[in-house]
Amino acid sequence: MDRVQTIGIVGAGAKGREIARLALLGGYRVILEDMSESRLTDSTAGISAALKTAVGRGEIDARRADTVSSNLSTTHSMDEVSRGADLLIDAAPEEAELQLEIFTIFDKFAKPEAILASTSDSISIADLADITSCTERCVGLRVPEQGSQSKKLSILRGPKTDDATVQECIAFASRMGLEPCVVIESSTDAAVIERNSYRQ
């Protein structure tokens, strides 16, 4: 358990930036990828500003903020982020063809035991998993937006997602200070709650 230490995020928009911020505060190393230099710049600036705010409020100390900042790296290469991460998260814009392309690249370049995750609502985890050679390590993640009152991380389990993958995602949620909620993706695309929450 807890073999996930480096998080790779594809997409440096608002969703990707928030996942990166939470993961960094959870003590993870984060590789943030985007083709746009301006989005990467905006995201790193936004994360830095959020850390400064947290220091000002006394939520974290300056030394920890510096450590957190040093754990963030950026890249324009999907190959690089795929090779470097233990948990890969697609946080790109909602386009089904784009999600399929991203998962194809994940499957080609990811570490042998890496978890492949999608935040997309536009395509099922089952469909994404089926284009990979690791259906058991594919999962959906629904992270609350920045500023949201919700502290819940929904973990969307596909038909072939295994228990080990779910448990790693539960640990990921807990380290970020979120409440994990596992949801089963059914064959009719209706999701059902597996368990309301998990307590470590």
Mean pLDDT (the chain) is 90
Determine contact, residues 111/85, Cβ cutoff 8 Å: yes
Cα separation, 184 vs 165, in Å, equals 13
Residue 196 has pLDDT above 70, yes or no: no
33-81, pLDDT tens digit by residue? 999 999 999 999 999 999 999 999 999 999 999 999 999 999 999 999 9
Location of structure tokens 């089963």: 184
Q: How many CA atoms lie within 13 A of 90 on its CB side?
A: 31
**Per-residue model confidence (pLDDT) at position 147:** 67
pLDDT in tens, 89-111: 999 998 989 999 999 999 999 99
Would you list the DSSP string of 126-190? HHHHHTSS-GGGEEEEEPPPTT-S--EEEEEE-TT--HHHHHHHHHHHHHTT-EEEEEEEPTTS-
Tell me the pLDDT tens digit for each residue of 4-19.
999 999 999 999 999 9
Predicted pLDDT at 3: 86
Q: Could you tell me the two tokens for 170?
A: 């539960």
pTM of the model: 0.90
DSSP labels for 16-49?
A: HHHHHHHHHHTT-EEEEE-S-HHHHHHHHHHHHH
Contacts of 4 (CB under 8 A, 6+ apart): 28, 86, 87, 115, 168, 171, 172
122 confidence band (pLDDT: 50, 70, 90): confident
Contact yes or no for 19/143 (Cβ under 8 A) = yes
Of 111-120, 155-164, 188-197, the poorest mean pLDDT is in: 188-197
For residue 125, give both structure tokens: 């985890």
192 pLDDT exceeds 60?
Answer: no
pLDDT recorded at residue 103: 97
Confidence band (pLDDT; 50, 70, 90) for 1? low
For the chain, domains (ranges, CATH) are 6-195 (3.40.50.720)
**Contacts (Cβ under 8 Å, ≥6 apart) of 152:** 144, 178, 179, 180, 181
